[in-house]
């Protein structure tokens, strides 16, 4: 047993220090970024990603995100795969876990869940498990890289530098970073395991970039400012769940609550998810997610505009002409309070 005494930070623990800028308008900020991956693949877009959760990783969400040059990791539980018109969309990732059926389908060209035709047109594969620290997962990533050498592989979740390096060396291109920061994740409460998200992003980014890899900050963003902090901390991609929940493009019916419309949002380790996909919670495990209802927010395009506007504002405050420049332009200031909440925290 040992204790690390140095400070570890979440997004709420810091603000970004403003700096002199020569930018005269938010319009001058370039949010698109071009990534060159080791296998020769190139992707250009705005590196914000819809999470591969049941409610947010939908085809409808992916279409709107793609229209804005952003990514969606599709839920691995989608019952109806995209039609032919969606095949060549480079802004969708297919998601898989390590379950026997998942692995068989992914590693077999004619698998039941992923046909060779569908896989052929998708550049991204997202290998998604709650605990990315097992040797079994490292071996799984190696197997997927062997079978799909031309794909861009996203793998996670982890929260520390040593496992970021291990997964990159196993063949992943992008490491998904975050243990417990999500709005409907209860891993930290149930297991006592986790890592403050901003520090996780900073440490994993440093490890990944040293090996020519990339990271995707997953979880913990409550506002556009948090997304800016994630990019400022070195994240190459930022994945969103709760911020995209409740929109028209999310799965699930609109329900009435206290006289106003809401939609259901739940973690993928919640009892709701396990009831739907596994017939209940297995006797050897606990739920590590919760189910909430969130106000119905209408079209996700309005939220996307707020997010992109917030990012451009962060860049103009720091003098970053490109989103890629945010880390070198960003100085974090530790704070005790971020907001004046006298009239609420909205």
Is 85 a residue whose pLDDT tops 70? no
- Residue range 105-144, pLDDT digits in tens: 666 544 434 444 455 457 899 999 999 999 999 999 999 9
Exposure letters 232-268 (e unless 16+ CB within 10 A, then b)? bbbbbbbbbbbbbbbbebbbbeeeeeeeeebbbbbbb
Q: What is the pLDDT of residues 97-115, one digit of tens each?
A: 888 667 666 665 444 344 4
64-80 pLDDT per residue, tens: 999 999 999 999 887 66
Per-residue model confidence (pLDDT) at position 32:
98
Neighbours of 344 (CB within 10 A): 6
Residue 118 buriedness (CB in 10 A; 0-12 / 13-18 / 19+): middle
Q: Look at residue 30 and tell me whether its pLDDT is greater than 50.
A: yes
Distance, in Å, from the CA atom of 19 to the CA atom of 319, rounded to the nearest integer, reads: 7
Fold of 11-334: TIM Barrel (3.20.20)
Catalytic residues: 185, 187
Stated as kind and residue range, the H or E segment containing 318 is helix 300-318
The answer, as to whether pTM is greater than 0.85, is yes
| Alpha-carbon span 46 to 56, nearest angstrom | 18
In angstroms, the Cα distances linking 37 to 44, 172, 197, 213, 238 are 11, 10, 25, 8, 17
> CA end-to-end span of the chain, whole Å?
41
User: 270 is written with which tokens?
Assistant: 């919640």
Q: How confident is the model at residue 326 (pLDDT cuts 50, 70, 90)?
A: very high
pLDDT band (50, 70, 90) for residue 83: low
- Do 326 and 318 contact (CB within 8 A), yes or no? yes
**For the chain, domain boundaries:** 11-334
Q: Find where tokens 């994740």 sit.
A: 185
């Amino acid at each position: 047993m040992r204790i690390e005494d140095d400070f570890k930070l979440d997004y709420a623990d810091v603000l970004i220090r403003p700096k002199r800028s020569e930018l005269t308008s938010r319009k001058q900020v370039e949010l698109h970024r071009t990534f060159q991956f080791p296998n020769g693949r190139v992707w250009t877009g705005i590196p914000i990603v819809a999470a591969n959760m049941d409610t947010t990783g939908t085809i409808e969400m992916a279409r709107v995100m793609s229209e804005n040059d952003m990514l969606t990791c599709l839920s691995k539980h989608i019952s109806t795969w995209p039609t032919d018109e969606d095949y060549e969309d480079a802004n969708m990732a297919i998601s898989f876990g390590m379950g026997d059926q998942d692995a068989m389908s992914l590693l077999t060209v004619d698998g039941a869940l992923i046909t060779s035709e569908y896989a052929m047109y998708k550049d991204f594969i997202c290998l998604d498990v709650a605990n990315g620290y097992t040797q079994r997962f490292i071996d799984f990533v190696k197997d997927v890289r062997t079978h799909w050498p031309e794909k861009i592989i996203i793998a996670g979740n982890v929260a520390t530098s040593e496992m970021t390096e291990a997964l990159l060396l196993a063949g992943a291109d992008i490491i998904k970073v975050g243990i417990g920061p999500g709005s409907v994740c209860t891993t930290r409460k149930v297991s006592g395991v986790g890592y403050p998200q901003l520090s996780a992003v900073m440490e994993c980014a440093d490890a990944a970039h040293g090996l020519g890899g990339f990271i995707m900050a997953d979880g913990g963003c409550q506002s556009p400012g948090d997304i800016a902090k994630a990019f400022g901390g070195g994240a190459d991609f930022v994945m969103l769940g709760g911020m995209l929940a409740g929109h028209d493009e999310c799965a699930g019916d609109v329900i009435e609550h206290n006289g106003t419309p809401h939609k259901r949002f739940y973690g993928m380790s919640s009892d709701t998810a396990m009831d739907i996909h596994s017939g209940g919670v297995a006797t050897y495990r606990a739920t590590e997610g919760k189910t909430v209802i969130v106000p119905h927010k209408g079209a996700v395009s309005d939220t996307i505009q707020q997010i992109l506007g917030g990012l451009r504002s962060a860049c103009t405050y720091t003098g970053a002409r490109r989103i890629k420049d945010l880390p070198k332009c960003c100085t974090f200031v530790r704070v005790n309070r971020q907001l004046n909440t006298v009239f609420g925290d909205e």
